[in-house]
Structure 1
Amino acid sequence: MSDDGYPTVLIEGKEIPYDPEQLRKINEHPCYSKEACHKSGRMHLPVAPKCNIQCNYCVRDFDCVNESRPGVCSEVLKPEEAVKLVGEVLDKYPYIKVIGIAGPGDPLANEETFETLRLLKEEYPTPIKCLSTNGLLLPESLDRLIEYDVGNITVTLNAVDPAIGEKIYSFVEWEGKKLHGREAAEKLLSQQLKGIEMAVANKILVKINTVFIPGVNDHHIVDIAKKVGEMGVFTFNLIPVIPQYKFSDVTPPTPKEKREMQDKCSPFVRQMRHCQRCRSDAIGKLGEDIQDCIYQSRHAEE
């Protein structure tokens, strides 16, 4: 127990205090607890098509029912459709404990995200609310996320040095302008770090996704882990790049190289080693997705 009476969780050799609600958001979330991934499921609502940055590894306009990666979904739902689907899924699959919004664009760049969260708070307040973002609009959006009970946030952070970041992003849309090069990378990084700091200060559990891009940021990943560990994020998820778009010629890291990099990062921040690289419409347990049968059933009834 901590001095304030809260239970503690042992993370990388340190006793970290969490209040009971935070512990629930750890213990029932399959991304935050390796044990939970065997008994708890998540449901991603694809309500956010627009994005405000262009990553050099990202293609959002491709849909394949056999492909599992962020940015892919079979269809974009309206908020009302998404919340109706939540009710249908929870009735059939009570092991779904997490409702998340992860795209296919950036959730914070879409007002539909906030309308969906508002409806969820009214109709389904109990499931954990989770959101993934590139972080560009996180500082300005945090009050609304807190209002709608979002307790788990994932930020994709691929560099903490703008000189590396400018190699990863084609542009950043900021206040009606498209920023490029170093200016874009500096703005994005500034917003990401500010948003992460604010989220942690508000007792939101933060997961960092870092795309492992050999020849671009591989020498820099430990620096990212050190930085976010110092900031108090809960866990760090290393994702091998999928060769596409401007990085179509990049050779992704091998499983062995990924494990070795995680081992190098583990002294600084807790590692998530069971990621399944979920689609933005994923439903079910990690590695046991059921979204195909749910969406097929939904359309058969229409």
Structure 2
Amino acid sequence: MSDDGYLTAMVDGEEVPYDPEQLRKIKEHPCYSKEACHKFGRMHLAVAPDCNIQCNYCVRKYDCVNESRPGVCSKVLNPKEALDLVRVVMDKFPYIKVIGIAGPGEPLANKETFETLKLLKEEFPTPIKCLSSNGLMLPESIDKLIEYDVGNVTVTLNAVDPEIGEKIYSFVEWDGKKLHGREAAEKLLSQQLKGIEMAVANKMLVKINTVYIPGINDHHIVDIAKTVGEMGVYTFNLIPVIPQYKFKDIIPPTGKDKKEMQDACLPYVRQMRHCKRCRSDAIGLLGEDVQDCLFERK
């Protein structure tokens, strides 16, 4: 135990100081620990269809059975259907340790997210609760996330400079208005940084997803890593862009490009190098999904 009362433990060969519950949320979460991804699984509940921003690389389709990427799921569930699914999965696959909500839209922009989290707290308090967000509504949602025991939060942060951000987002919906250009990028970034700061202050384990977009933010990614590292986030996940929508003509980075960028970011923040770009309804071990046996395909 360290002098400040925190436990230190080896996670993926690295000594980390966190309290016992935080350590559990690291060591049993397949995204936060490479060792965990071989032993423990996660399930994503696709209960959040609506989104409040439009990224220039994002196309959300609900029935792309051969695709593995965020925004894709076989069916959007209501909270009761999600709870029924959790009952089946937890009984059939005891290695599932994490229940997450990652879309297919923005979880914090959908009331069904909080209804689902409430049901989970009542019936399944033990599994780790995880949520992925674009961060726009994170500051105002922190108290609810704490209430429902969400301890792991992923924020997709693609720029810490609005001049770059405005090239990535078509619009941001805020306070009943649709913002564009620099105004949209500034509002989104302000909310993201505030939300990350609040999450870290409340002992949440924060993972940052950054989409690596050559010609748009590639020269800026180390700055993102340095910024979030200084803020105290736990890990940083670099995701090569999938060429689609307004970025359909962009050539994605190679595996070598990605590794070199991760190595450049490593001095500032821990790197997640085993991401599988999960679907919004993924269930199972990373890269070994089992949801196909649970959903009927049309």
Same fold (TM > 0.5): yes
Corresponding residue number in structure 2 for 1:282: 282
Cα distance in 2 between the residues matched to 1:253 and 1:119: 41
What's 1:255 paired with? Answer: 255
SS at match of 1:295: coil
Distance of 2:115 and 2:62 partners within structure 1 = 26
Distance 1:294 1:228, change over 3 A: same
Change in Cα spacing, 1:12 to 1:261, as seen in structure 2 (3 Å) is farther
- What amino acid maps onto 1:23 in structure 2? L
Alpha-carbon deviation of 1:63? 2.6
Residues 82 and 152 (structure 1), Cα distance of their counterparts in 2 relative to 1, 3 Å cut: same
| Counterpart position of 1:153 | 153
Contact preservation (8 Å) 1:132, 1:153:
yes
Superposed CA offset, 1:77-99 (max 9, x none) = 00000011001010010000000
Q: Distance in 1 between matches of 2:64 and 2:157?
A: 26
Q: Distance in 2 between matches of 1:177 and 1:116?
A: 27
* 8 Å Cα contact 2:12-2:34 kept in structure 1: no
Work out whether residues 12 and 267 of structure 1, in 8 Å CA contact, stay in contact via their aligned partners in 2.
Answer: no
- Unaligned 5+ segments in structure 1 are none
Moved over 3 A (4+): 9-16
Cα offset, 1:15, TM superposition: 5.8
1:54 matched to which residue of 2?
54
Q: Look up the equivalent residue of 1:124 and give its one-letter code.
A: F
Maintained 8 Å contact 1:12/1:270:
no
Deviations 1:102-148 (A, max 9, x none): 00000000000000000000000000000000000000000000000
The residue identity in structure 1 corresponding to 2:27 is N
When normalised by structure 1's length, the TM-score is: 0.96
After superposition, give the CA deviation of every residue in 1:256-275 in whole Å (9 maximum; x if it has no partner): 00000000000000000000
What amino acid does structure 2 have at the position aligned with 1:197?
A: E
2:176 is matched with 176
> Taking structure 1 as reference, are residues 62 and 245 closer, same or farther at Cα in structure 2, changes over 3 Å only?
farther
Q: Conserved in 1, the CA contact under 8 Å of 2:29 and 2:98?
A: yes
User: How many Å separate the matches in 1 of 2:45 and 2:159?
Assistant: 28
Q: TM-score, normalised by structure 2?
A: 0.97
| Residue in structure 2 matched with residue 264 of structure 1 by the alignment | 264
Distance (Å, rounded) in 2 between the aligned partners of 1:72 and 1:35 = 26
Distance 1:229 1:288 in 2: 30
Letter in 1 for 2:144: R
- Letter of the 1:22 partner, please give it: Q
- What residue identity is the alignment partner of 1:267? P
Given that 1:11 and 1:270 are in contact with CA atoms closer than 8 Å, whether structure 2 keeps it comes out as no
Partners in 2 of 1:156 and 1:216 — Cα distance?
A: 16
- Unaligned stretches of 5+ in structure 2? none
What secondary structure does 2:75 align onto? Answer: coil
Q: Which residue of structure 2 lines up, in the alignment, with residue 241 of structure 1?
A: 241
Asked if 1:164 corresponds to 2:164, the answer is: yes
Identity of aligned residues (%): 82
1:4-19 maps to which residues of 2 (within 5 A)? 4-9=4-9, 16-19=16-19
Give 1:10 shift. Answer: 6.6
| 1:128 to 1:230, Cα distance in 2 relative to 1, 3 A | same
Alignment of 1:100-179 (within 5 A): 100-179=100-179
| Separation of aligned partners in 2, 1:227 and 1:137 | 20
Paired amino acid for 1:71: G
The aligned residue for residue 220 of structure 1 is 220
Alignment: residue pair count: 298
Q: 1:275 to 1:14 in 2, by over 3 A?
A: closer
SS at match of 2:294: helix
